[in-house]
Structures are given as C-alpha cells and as structure tokens.
Structure 1
C-alpha cells in the first residue's frame, strides 16, 4: 500500500525524520468457538510500525525524552487511524492494547519510551475515544517474532467480558537497530463470555480455602 495511504496527513519529511520503514495492518475475523457459530463475527485488528531506533549506542544515561516527543505522537496517530479504518469507524472500537519490541542493539527502555508516555498513550486514547489505561506487552525481539497483545475495554478496564488477546507475527522486524510499535483493538467482547463481572462479583478472600489446606 502506498505510504501516503498508510500514514494519513503526514508528509514525507515527517516520516523520514522518525525513521519509519513500514506500516502493516492485520485483521482476524473469528466466526465460531468450539464449533459453535457466533451471533456475529469478532474482528480483531493490529497495526504495527517499524522505525529506526534513535537511541542505539547512546548508553543507559541517555535522555530519551526529546526523540520520544517527536516519534511517539506520530506513531500513535498513524496506527490509531489504521485500526479505526480496519474496524469501520471509531464506534466499532470496543477494546484496545499496545506493544513495543526493540531490536537486539537497543535497550528495553527504548521500547517503553515509544509507548509508555502520554506522547503515545494519550494520542491513542483520544483517537480511539477511550479512557482506560492501555494494557500492553513489550520486550526485546528479532525478526520473525510473534507477539501476543492483551486487550481490554477502552472505557471499562474491569469489564471481564472484554479481556482477550491478539497474536501478531512480525515477519521482518525488528532488526537489531529498530523498534516495532503496535496498536491493537477489537470490535466486541471475548468469545461466549460467561465469567461474570468484577462490578458484581461477591467478596472473595482466602477464607474460602478453609478446610482444604493441609
């Protein structure tokens, strides 16, 4: 897909300045569970961007702030727009989550710098019309990695019905000097949810173990 289609209103100079190499969006449409058809398919989407790691070789005392302020909001906008487009509109975004994987020449903190500040999280929440803290996965990886991204409700993080995950394969990223950043979402709850909800759970303590422990 042409870069101008994937990256919205950002010009080539902005994309070059953040070291953007690629943007990929994948969508799973789940039709049944344990042989039972769903009333409607559950759609799960993940969009991931691969950027050069601007902090490689800088050392553990390096200030990560300036580059994070430049790169993270742009990625948040690009990836959120892709997720909204894939699901058909922001009203169809029910859950969300995020991830970042750093290549082997970088620090784990480099991955965090692109997703664990308001420069990314606030942009994603605003564009996906959420209020919950974004659940996440992060780590170090090599090309060909699979990442499992947790999702929960975008405005009611304690809605157990919406706890789910999406698995994403990163075929050629991150290279040693790159970072891969992901925004994921779905348009509905977990398949056939029936575990109740934290807001209506009975109070449970270790007292329920009495008589069972030796």
Structure 2
C-alpha cells in the first residue's frame, strides 16, 4: 500500500444556532488515497489477498494520525471508503469492515463500539459524509453527527479513499433527551 496522498481536515465550530459554543467543537478527518488492490481484475471472488495486503497497514497509518490531528481525547468516531469508478463498493467495504483495519482505531481511541461507516463509489471530487457515534456507547444521541468531506482529485478510477473521522465531543448545542427517556 503506497498512498498517493494523505489529507488532513480539521473543523472547529465556534457558534451554532446563533449562540457561541462554550468550547469550540472540534472534528478531524484523515484520508489516504490508495490504489485499489482489485482494480482492473474483473470480478474477484475471494478478496482476502487484497484485504491482507492493505487493511491492517492503512488502519495503522490513519489511526494515530486522526487522533493527533484532533489534539484532544476522542469521544466520537467513524470511517469511510470511497471507491473510484473502476472498482466496486465491496472493495472499500472489504478494507474497512475488518478487524485488521478497525482494531487499530478502536485501540488507539480506547473505544469499544463498532465504527459507523459510509461506503460509496464515485468520481474524483465526490462529496461524502462520514457518520460518527460515541466510541463506547452508540446510543448516546449527542454524539450522532457527521462531517462532510470532498477531495478534489480523488478517487481516481483505480483508487480508494479510506478515511477516519474523530470528534472531541458531541454535536454543538445538542439538546435531545437521552434515549432512555423514551423506553
């Protein structure tokens, strides 16, 4: 796995709903643009060789970078795989929906829940939203959020964008009652 590029995005929300946010809400995304290990091969029945070649390495690359970019303890997290037009959505899913990939992030973030994800196929510059949820309890409503991402020149047809997102808090100004109040 040789990334063509690595992109880091930081978003800080200082006001929401017409009011200042007491502590700016910070979200970080780190994305690696990699070659699709199955591109140009037609339908590949067994994806395990590509998974073994890429999943752990890209997870190990991205997990420490997104945590460092956030600069604060992770409270919510998510992931994405955006496949270029010469690939299948299954190619992205094969990389990010494995413990070989996700355990790097779970361990680094001290998390226990499954990572919410988006998978999509599209041309360079396609917009995608990465969903985030609380890292230890996916029912905590305040942490259900998403961040919009776009890389102007990726993915090329034979590439995959693999991304991780991290938030230091829930949504700014969240006011929903806990799920337990409806049960």
Same fold, TM exceeding 0.5? yes
SS at match of 1:20: coil
Q: In structure 2, how many angstroms separate the alpha carbons of the residues matched to 1:189 and 1:127?
A: 19
The answer to whether 1:110 aligns with 2:91 is yes
Deviations along 1:160-191, whole A, 9 cap, x unmatched? 01111111111110000000000001100112
2:7 maps to 1:27: no
1:146 aligns with 2:127: yes
What is the CA distance between 1:40 and its match in structure 2?
0.4
Q: Normalising to structure 1: TM-score of the pair? A: 0.82
CA contact (8 A) 1:31 1:40 kept: yes
Residues in 2 aligned to 1:132 and 1:59: alpha-carbon distance in whole angstroms: 34
In structure 1, distance between residues paired with 2:175 and 2:17: 15
Distance, in Å, in 2 between the alignment partners of 1:151 and 1:195 is 16
1:63 is displaced (CA, Å) by: 1.5
Shift of 1:125: 0.8
With structure 2 as the length reference, what TM-score do the two structures score? 0.96
Shift of 1:110: 0.5
User: 1:166 matched to which residue of 2?
Assistant: 147
Q: Runs ≥4 in structure 1, deviation > 4 angstroms?
A: none
Number of positions where the alignment pairs a residue of Structure 1 with one of Structure 2: 183
Confirm or deny: 8 A CA contact 1:77 1:127 kept in the other structure.
Answer: no
CA distance in 2, matches of 1:61, 1:110: 10
C-alpha distance in 2 between matches for 1:67 and 1:108: 14
**Partner residue of 2:54 out of 53, 63, 71:** 71
Gap regions ≥5 residues in structure 2: none
- Could you tell me how far 1:109 is from its partner in structure 2? 0.7
Q: RMSD over aligned Cα, in angstroms?
A: 1.2
Deviation track 1:108-133 (CA, whole Å, cap 9, x = no partner) reads 11111110111111121111111011
Confirm or deny: 8 A CA contact 2:17 2:173 kept in the other structure: no
Paired with 1:43 and 1:75, the residues of 2 have a C-alpha distance of: 23
Mapped partners of 2:182, 2:24: distance in 1: 32
1:170-213, CA deviations, whole angstroms, 9 ceiling, x for partnerless residues?
11100000000000011001121111112x2233xxxxxxxxxx
| Larger Rg computed on CA atoms | 1
Q: Does 1:125 align with 2:106?
A: yes
Q: Secondary structure at the match of 2:182?
A: coil
Q: What is residue 67 of structure 2 aligned with on the other side?
A: 84
